[in-house]
Homo-oligomer: A and B are copies of this chain.
Amino acid sequence: MQEALALAHQAFLNQEVPIGAIVVSNGNIIGRGFNQTLSKGSVLAHAEIIAIEDACKNIRNHRLVDTMLFSTIEPCHMCAKAIIDARISYIIFGAREPKSGSIVSVDNFLDRSFHNHSVSFEEGILKDECKEIMQRFFKARRN
């Protein structure tokens, strides 16, 4: 999660909402992403989506079997569905996203019975650090 946080810092420096994500396979980082919605001019450029695309490119496979995704912030429905479709096994996120977090905050999306792949999750790893950088970003933007 330290690595995902470092990526969140990179987003912060680029004046983007500071969220970072990595994909890990057998202890190795195979994909990295940080939020780039403004610089890429795309609502799709969430940290998780970019990390998944990076991982798929690196291992030349559109299925990321037996991998884990770490994200500093709870994923939204778009990212959660991409994680499921990519066959990632496990999501670990730092802090909750009360307005759009699909895992525990506004929905229990992973638990829905219609998915054809099951993803487990864990939350709260480096929660304070993941939350603090977000708060610092939004405070700076308000000023």
Contacts and interface: CB of A to CB of B under 8 A. Distances in A.
- Chain A, interface SS category: loop
Nearest to A50: B44
A99 B81 CA distance: 13
Contacts of A86: 43
A1 to B, nearest CB: 24
Nearest to A78: B81
The number of times this chain is found in the oligomer is 2
Interface residues of A, number: 32
Contacts of A49: 44
Interface in A25-78: 37-38, 40-44, 49, 52-53, 56-57, 60-63, 76-78
**Which of A38, A60, A106, A114 counts the most chain B CB atoms within 10 A?**
A114
In the complex, the 5 A-B pairs of residues with the closest C-beta atoms, listed nearest first: A78-B81, A43-B85, A106-B114, A77-B81, A41-B62
